[in-house]
Amino acid sequence: MRRGVAALALALAACSGGGDPANTEAPDLETVAIERGVVRDPGSDSITGLYARGGDRLCLVPQGEALRVGAFVLNGGRLGCSASGTAKRSGDRLRIDFGNACEVEARIEDARVIFPAKLPPQCAGRCSARGTFSGLRVERMSDVLSEAAALRDPRGRAVCGG
């Protein structure tokens, strides 16, 4: 019996690593959450993620030196827009290229992306009827890249997925 207790004590000592548990420095919960991408690092100036306001959505996902961008707006009924393209950040500006001369210079304010009121006429091709991206204003909803990459427009098209 004593041999069994001694063997158990030795096994437990070997598993403990021999260190004082009070001296073990485990990372705090916030650090672990930041490292795993569950919460945004407050020191980061990354703008990647999923943005929303009402039924409007915008996603920004890293793609090499640029960003993959996708957006859709719901202007009511069958009116709306959907587009995908690339973007590059320069300070508080986000230059978005949806292709075919539809280029937008959006503003970045805190956790918001704001499109200008006046857009090139070529952007109308991304919209149905009188839908428009003009004045689109969305706020960051999530910085989880898998959520941003999974964004689909109302027709089921992936707007930020590669």
Asked if residue 137 lies in contact with residue 115, where contact means CB atoms within 8 angstroms, the answer is yes
Predicted model pTM: 0.73
Question: Does the residue 87 lie in any domain?
Answer: yes
Q: Which two tokens stand for residue 20?
A: 């004082």
Question: Does the residue 33 lie in any domain?
Answer: no
Structural domain of 112: 49-149
For residues 109, 162, 121, 116, the Cα torsion angle rounded to the nearest 10 degrees is 0
* pLDDT given at position 27: 77
Question: Does the residue 141 lie in any domain?
Answer: yes
* pLDDT given at position 9: 47
Which residues of the chain fall below pLDDT 50? 2, 4-13, 16-17
